[in-house]
Amino acid sequence: MSIKSPRTWVVGGVLLALVLSVLGWQLVAAPQRAAADAARDQVVSARAVEQTQRVRLAQLTADSAQLETHRADLATARTSIPVALDLPALTRRLTVTATVAGVTLMGVEPSAPTSTATAAGTAPAATSEPATTASDAATTAPAAATAATAAPASGLQAVPLRITVIGSFDGAEQFLRQLQNDDAPSLLVAGLSVTGQDPADASGAKPRTVNGDVQLVVDARAFVLPSTAS
């Protein structure tokens, strides 16, 4: 039976120490290093979030400084749009416009207001005869105005209008041009139809017509902004 030399024991001890060192690294040092790496990642992420919040705070501060300016702009825009449709005043204004253009205003027929998000396509279809005549405006205006203001109490509203005039083609064209230029209240022309008229004597509210006269029916929108105050 041979006895190992001291050198063999030394080599074996060194190898055992190396194995124990590797095992110690795997069991102790490696998890701690992973934890340190995770902590560093969290710090980097937190700093990025902090920087983002700083940028947002700076933007909010800048917006806050402009708040009064925005409020003033909103107030100016608000006063340019009426809170409700004044149908009698509108009828009088359109009567003057028609007279200047040399045509006769036959009727102004409003429909119930709608939200501007759904106003498109809600105007009444044009017909050959108006439902409301200018001479009847004083009588029908209260009922029509009631219908034209039966809308939600807030938000921009569009009141569909059907405006009818009879006269020469040139006069109807001038009336339409003036209608598009006027802005009190703001009117948007959404559609129109032109029908030729046969020569005829005056009858009721309808004026005398001659060759070349036309009936112009305009589908328009009058915009209102009801007050939100209680």
Write b or e for each residue in 68-91: b if 16 or more Cβ atoms lie within 10 A of its Cβ, otherwise e.
eeeeeeeeeeeeeebebbbbbebb
Is pLDDT at 85 greater than 70 in this prediction?
A: yes
Q: What tokens appear for 85 in the block?
A: 């449709």
Mean pLDDT (whole number) for 123-147: 45
Mean pLDDT (whole number) for 81-110: 91
- pLDDT of amino acid 149: 44
Q: Could you count the other beta carbons within 10 Å of the beta carbon of residue 188?
A: 13
Planar angle of CA 71, 225, 70, nearest 5 degrees: 10
Reported as type and span, the H/E element at residue 169 is: helix 169-181
CA distances from 120 to 59, 66, 192 (A): 37, 34, 15
Residue recorded with tokens 């009588």? 139
Query: For 100-109, 141-150, 171-180, 189-198, which range has the lowest pLDDT when averaged over its residues?
Result: 141-150
Question: pLDDT tens digits, residue range 189-223?
Answer: 999 999 999 999 999 889 999 999 999 999 999 88
Q: Are 221 and 119 in contact (CB under 8 A)?
A: yes
More confident residue, 37 or 99: 99
Question: pLDDT tens digits, residue range 19-35?
Answer: 777 666 666 666 677 77
- Look up the pTM and report it: 0.55
Domain 85-116+154-229 fold is Alpha-Beta Plaits (3.30.70)
Residues 6+ apart with CB under 8 A from 83: 224, 225, 226, 227
- pLDDT of amino acid 219: 94
Q: What tokens appear for 62 in the block?
A: 């800048």
Neighbouring-strand partners of residue 107: 164
3-state secondary structure of 47: helix
